[in-house]
Amino acid sequence: MKNTHSLHALALAAAALAAAPEARADLITDWNLKSADIITDAKIGTPPAVRVMAIVQTAAQCAVNAALSDKTAAVEAALAAAHRASFARLLPAQQALTEGMVQAALAPLPEGPAKAAGLRLGEQCAAEVLARRADDGATTPETYRPHTSAGIYVPTAAAAAPQWPQRKPWLMASASAVRPPAPPALASEAWARDYNEVKLLGGRHSTQRSAEQTEVGRFWEYSLPAVYYGVLRSVALAPGRDLARNARLFAVAAQAMDDALIAVFDAKYQYHFWRPVTAVRNGDIDGNDATVRDAGWLPLVETPMHPEYPSAHSTLAATVAQLVKADIGNQPLPPLATSSPTAKGATRRWTRVEDFVQEVGDARVWAGIHFRSACDTGAAMGRRVGELAARQLQPAPQ
């Protein structure tokens, strides 16, 4: 009987060894979609959501690498365990939803040493990443001081993520590593150009904005990370991809996107530049004769509760675009696509990464919440973050 058990164990190990390299490359994209559902259900803001995804995708990459290196561990179990342990700490209120997804992923796997080893490795990876990011500053109490004079009313909605500039980046040397110069001076021609463009095209009742421009503005009203991971999935689901490569791309992109928002909020709270809805209603006090006040102007979409400059969307788009280019290298670019809940699930497509980045910047102007300079500056910042992150895309030496 003892010899029979030994032969059975060897057979299981051999089967796992043979199966490990065949793990589906789209396991990463499957779990990325599940993660997006969990985050959406949690109803958290964009900066915290991007941070959560960075930790989760990093744990997922660790789990894939650990399971493939172990060769006797089930990758599917490792990924499920890494996601379960990560979300248990980051979004504990979503435990029921997370557990349902985990059990659905684990159910097809036979009980045995491969499954047990995968679960153990996934849990270890999540614990390691969570420990590494425990002191990243995300839970630092915010102490934002509204700009006002004693006794004067200002809108009382809380500013978004004012503590984000104090966070520890993943890849950048500091939050201010890619801090841009100040926005255009209010007396400048550049400011007048920015002001009049958004006033003309970004107003809620604009007669100059086309129907398509309105659709694009509404599409990019959505800001949770899922809208960018759709673009990454366009690459990850192309033929010939392997699991380790996809895990690496998603982990590096997630870290870079988190760094991009750290950099953006560093600049936003450094310069405290006014939003179009504030500027256009106060066009008579900026000292520029080329900016005419519109007392009742409103943007197409609701204005986010943080300073205007630079554009976070433009920074994220350029970061993702830079990593897509680095990942595919000289290979043909697959068609890029993503969908948006704020556009009723509509899908938009691009054949060039530059067109994708340009559209995101245009959308924020047409939505009436950003000036052109903020979008151009954000794109330049994103390219720098993406270039820094792209160094992590090369496989580790064997």
Q: Tens-of-pLDDT digits for all 398 residues of the chain?
A: 333 333 333 333 333 333 333 568 899 999 999 999 999 999 999 999 999 999 999 999 999 999 999 989 999 999 999 999 999 999 999 999 999 999 999 999 999 999 999 999 999 999 999 999 999 999 999 999 988 899 999 888 899 999 999 999 999 999 999 999 999 999 999 999 999 999 999 999 999 999 999 999 999 999 999 999 999 999 999 999 999 999 999 999 999 999 999 999 999 999 999 999 999 999 999 999 999 999 999 999 999 999 999 999 999 999 999 999 999 999 999 999 999 999 999 999 999 999 999 999 999 999 999 999 999 999 999 999 999 999 998 754 44
CB atoms within 10 A of CB 100: 11
Q: Check if the beta carbon of residue 86 is closer than 8 Å to that of residue 130.
A: yes
Which residue's entry shows tokens 């600049």? 267
For 252, residues 6+ apart whose C-beta sits below 8 A from its C-beta are 323, 389, 390, 392, 393
Question: Is the omega angle on the peptide bond into residue 113 within 30 degrees of 0, that is, cis?
Answer: no
Q: What is the pTM of this model?
A: 0.92
* Consecutive H or E run containing 350: strand 346-350
Residue from 2, 314, 19, 384 nearest 172 by CA:
384
What is the reported pLDDT for 23?
A: 67
What is the distance between the alpha carbons of residues 126 and 79, in angstroms, rounded to a whole number? 10
- Coil, strand or helix: which one is 336? strand
What is the reported pLDDT for 313?
A: 98
What is the distance between the alpha carbons of residues 244 and 248, in angstroms, rounded to a whole number? 6
Distance (Å) of CA 325 to CA 26, 205, 353, 361: 20, 38, 8, 19
Residue 172 phi/psi, 5° resolution? -75, 155
* Consecutive H or E run containing 339: strand 336-340
* Consecutive H or E run containing 212: helix 211-219
CB atoms within 10 A of CB 146: 10
